[in-house]
């Protein structure tokens, strides 16, 4: 199966789009007044010196610092934000506000709020942990449609996290024609790293049995033994998740799919929620090639990189023909 995977992937190799690494190199090149090729050579040299333990984006940040370029003091476009940034400055329009959630972790209670912000080129999910920032949302002082300025935000797992050291305020600037649809960069599994939103064409080479859990119908928190931490005794809604291993001929990764997207694998609800029926269908999934979009994340518990899949689509034959024609 490995040979089949490699052959098909390289025949229909995706045309790569400019990702945040390219944007970052371009910014460093302009600031340092050096050619992009020179910056990329410095990045690869830095990665080699560090035995490849840092991503290209991380190595580029180190190179920028060595050249005296302080990216933390610059305002960036959303698609220029890079995993690991701790003092990112960005401006964007809030295109979606999610309900404020309460949590209780290890006996510590708190609140968390999140939103989706966008500019003319991309969008990102923002997460608020500071009570003063959250109060701005709760009191309606910052609402959907507002343009906001963020300073000292931290980028991790493809999200922009704001702490009490971050600034979060309404801006007088006007931003039109923002990108509303979720943006995923087409990538190969040999070049992905935590924090990226990726669109990957790959084969399913391993499938694990579904795991089941229940969610509260009111607040969407996990229900354990018929009880929700927020709402008390409730009848939970049954949900499933499935772990896969994907391979695109250049690398492989463990992936997880939740909810309704599982059905896009070609499984019915009965086959998802019955282990016996799932077992009869499992072998049919092996070798299937699809387009998977989602976030690359770091699993701290197992010290691994995982792919959290948000959407699945079939490969269009017409798109493959167009790609082949473009290469002729």
Tell me the domains of the chain and their CATH numbers: 18-69 (no CATH), 82-181 (2.40.50.140), 187-327 (2.40.50.140)
Per-residue pLDDT tens, the chain, 328 aa: give them: 434 433 333 333 333 334 567 878 888 888 888 999 999 999 999 888 887 777 787 888 889 888 888 776 678 888 888 777 888 899 999 999 988 888 777 777 888 999 999 999 889 999 999 999 999 999 999 999 999 999 999 988 778 999 999 999 999 999 988 988 877 878 889 888 777 788 999 999 999 999 999 988 877 788 888 888 778 888 888 999 999 999 999 899 999 998 888 999 999 999 999 999 999 999 999 999 999 999 888 877 777 889 999 899 998 776 666 666 655 5
Residue 91 pLDDT: 95
Residue 208 pLDDT: 94
Cα–Cα dist 271/281, whole Å: 7
The pTM for the full model equals 0.61
């Amino acid at each position: 199966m490995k040979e089949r995977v490699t052959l098909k992937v390289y025949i229909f190799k995706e045309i790569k789009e400019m990702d945040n690494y390219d944007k970052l190199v371009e910014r460093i090149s302009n600031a340092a007044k050096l050619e992009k090729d020179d910056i990329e050579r410095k990045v690869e040299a830095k990665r080699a010196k560090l035995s490849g333990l840092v991503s290209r984006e991380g190595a580029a940040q180190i190179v920028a610092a060595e050249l005296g370029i302080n990216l933390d003091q610059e305002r960036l476009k959303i698609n220029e934000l890079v995993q690991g940034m701790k003092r990112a400055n960005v401006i964007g329009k809030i295109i979606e506000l999610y309900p404020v959630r309460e949590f209780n972790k290890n006996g510590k209670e708190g609140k968390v709020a999140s939103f989706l912000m966008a500019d003319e080129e991309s969008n990102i999910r923002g997460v608020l942990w500071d009570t003063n920032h959250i109060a701005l949302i709760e009191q309606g002082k910052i609402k959907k449609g507002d343009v906001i300025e963020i300073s000292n935000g931290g980028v991790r797992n493809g999200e922009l996290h704001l702490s009490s050291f971050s600034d979060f305020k309404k801006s007088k600037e006007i931003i039109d024609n923002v990108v509303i649809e979720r943006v995923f960069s087409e990538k190969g599994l040999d070049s992905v790293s935590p924090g990226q939103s990726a669109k990957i064409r790959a084969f399913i080479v391993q499938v694990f049995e579904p795991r089941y859990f229940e969610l509260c119908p009111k607040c969407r928190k996990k229900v354990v033994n018929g009880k929700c931490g927020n709402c008390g005794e409730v009848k939970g809604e049954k949900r499933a998740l499935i772990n896969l291993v994907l391979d695109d001929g250049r690398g492989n990764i463990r992936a997880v799919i939740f909810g309704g997207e599982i059905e896009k694998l070609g499984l019915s609800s009965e086959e998802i929620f019955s282990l016996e029926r799932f077992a009869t269908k499992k072998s049919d999934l092996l070798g299937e090639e699809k387009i998977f979009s989602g976030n690359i994340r770091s699993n701290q518990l197992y010290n691994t990189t995982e792919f959290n899949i948000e959407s699945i689509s079939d490969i269009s034959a017409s798109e493959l023909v167009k790609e082949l024609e473009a290469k002729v």
